[in-house]
Structure 1
């Protein structure tokens, strides 16, 4: 199973949790992780890349589960500098979210790969989802829980079509044929958008398929959830507010979400997290 992550050093804890959940729950016999990172800075902050040390530690974990598994850390600094998302650099957008859009420029990226945000936990077997027929399809994803009500692409001729980009099964061969990621990168250079990478993907991808909610649960854990995404959501009680709880904030997973589903996994993470740093 080929997995794509992107991020800077702040993604390391989340990728560790996701990797532990992939090893434990995904059903994959082998894991091949590709982690895209870069050196970057904006007017407001300087970013530090995902470290080689952290990648090496993740490699030791996946190889312990299966010696054939691999982890590859890929520096995309030059690619990013050649095509920066100029119109969106000073928004709330995190430039590392764009790195997946360079996957079509990287020869080592396989034709079929599952992109995951770093706030994802795999809860159950995802081999059926991963292995589905994607002939003629650019990508497969799950509807965005809130965005589906507000955003729509008339080209798709569907009532709901706005995908959450935190879990995407990518057909890189098709994406290279259509030039989808090239078009998305260009749009991010010239047009300022809300959630720019996700918005551009939804606007420009026509050959896409909507997967069942269980493969990217963004709101409440369900009995059949296979992948849980700890994304920011809206809450209406006792007053309207946004709520953000990430899986590495273990205390708040318990106190705010009252969620103990992943205690074994998160306890293992707490024991291992210091190994991410030298």
Structure 2
């Protein structure tokens, strides 16, 4: 069984359908998908939690691939309020990114779990990554494409990991209280990318793996997980570019990317289930 963790609110349905569908298409194992959600109120916006109805509908979609797949939504609104990241509540990043830092509060965590952002698409079998050796490792991830040049926390030349694809070793993060210390740091210190920066700052046993397991720049023939992050473009002028996998016209016209079209067709068909 492969244990997967997502985080998000009611606006993340598109990403959840696409990302979880891509996993189901590329595994022969049962998927245990857990989604952390919460009601979050900020000065600009109120984020509404996902409902149990969403879990039922998503599970039904995935069980068309394998009846063993299961989806559980866990509302951690109260937990979030008890350790709210007050120093980072006004950052440009959605507060939902902080929810992953509460994963250690779950009562029945498996020995390992794979955290994925909802803008991550699985492109091929990921069992090699999921079942790798984790002795004396808190988590495994890939260097951040841009951040590795600007942030540094250990003796290695590059050590700043992107937090969109992380394989956690439960025993090790519980032993070091990594996530608890990250939550505390986010209450006390302001960061540009709060949860990602906290994890990189405090983790002492992180393992850096191959680019193909979190391809942030573009799709390659050996890409396992493609992560649709914001990137920089230099023509015809320097600018940022953000395209998410559910923005289909941009995927085709801007990125010129059609490799996920079969997945997108399935997503469009299944999305109707969430409208009624």
Fold-level similarity (TM above 0.5): yes
Q: Which residue of 2 aligns with 1:15?
A: 16
Moved over 6 A (4+): none
Structure 1's unaligned 5+ residue stretches are none
Alignment of 1:220-235 (within 5 A): 220-235=218-233
RMSD: 1.0
Q: Deviations over 1:112-136 (max 9, x none)?
A: 1000000010001110100001011
User: Aligned equivalents of 1:235 and 1:35: distance in 2?
Assistant: 33
| TM-score of the aligned structures, taking structure 1 as reference length | 0.97
Q: Which residue of 2 aligns with 1:63?
A: 63
Q: Which residue of 2 aligns with 1:24?
A: 25
Question: How far apart are residue 242 of structure 1 and its match?
Answer: 0.4
1:107 aligns with 2:97: no
Question: How far apart are residue 277 of structure 1 and its match?
Answer: 3.5
Q: Which residue of 1 aligns with 2:261?
A: 263
Does the aligned pair in 2 maintain the 1:138–1:207 contact within 8 Å? Answer: yes
1:264 is paired with a residue whose SS is helix
Does the aligned pair in 1 maintain the 2:34–2:73 contact within 8 Å? Answer: yes
Does the aligned pair in 1 maintain the 2:21–2:263 contact within 8 Å? Answer: yes
Does the aligned pair in 2 maintain the 1:33–1:71 contact within 8 Å? Answer: yes
Q: Which residue of 2 aligns with 1:202?
A: 200
Q: Deviations over 1:62-104 (max 9, x none)?
A: 2222222211110101110100000011121211111111111
Does the aligned pair in 2 maintain the 1:5–1:36 contact within 8 Å? Answer: yes
Q: Which residue of 1 aligns with 2:163?
A: 165
Aligned residues: 275
User: Aligned equivalents of 2:228 and 2:113: distance in 1?
Assistant: 21
Q: Deviations over 1:12-32 (max 9, x none)?
A: 11010011100112x242101
Does the aligned pair in 2 maintain the 1:144–1:164 contact within 8 Å? Answer: yes
Q: Deviations over 1:195-219 (max 9, x none)?
A: 0110110010110000100000000
Question: How far apart are residue 108 of structure 1 and its match?
Answer: 2.5
Alignment of 1:172-251 (within 5 A): 172-251=170-249
Q: Which residue of 1 aligns with 2:93?
A: 93
User: Aligned equivalents of 2:53 and 2:272: distance in 1?
Assistant: 11
1:73 aligns with 2:73: yes
1:71 is paired with a residue whose SS is strand
Does the aligned pair in 2 maintain the 1:115–1:170 contact within 8 Å? Answer: yes
User: Aligned equivalents of 1:220 and 1:6: distance in 2?
Assistant: 24
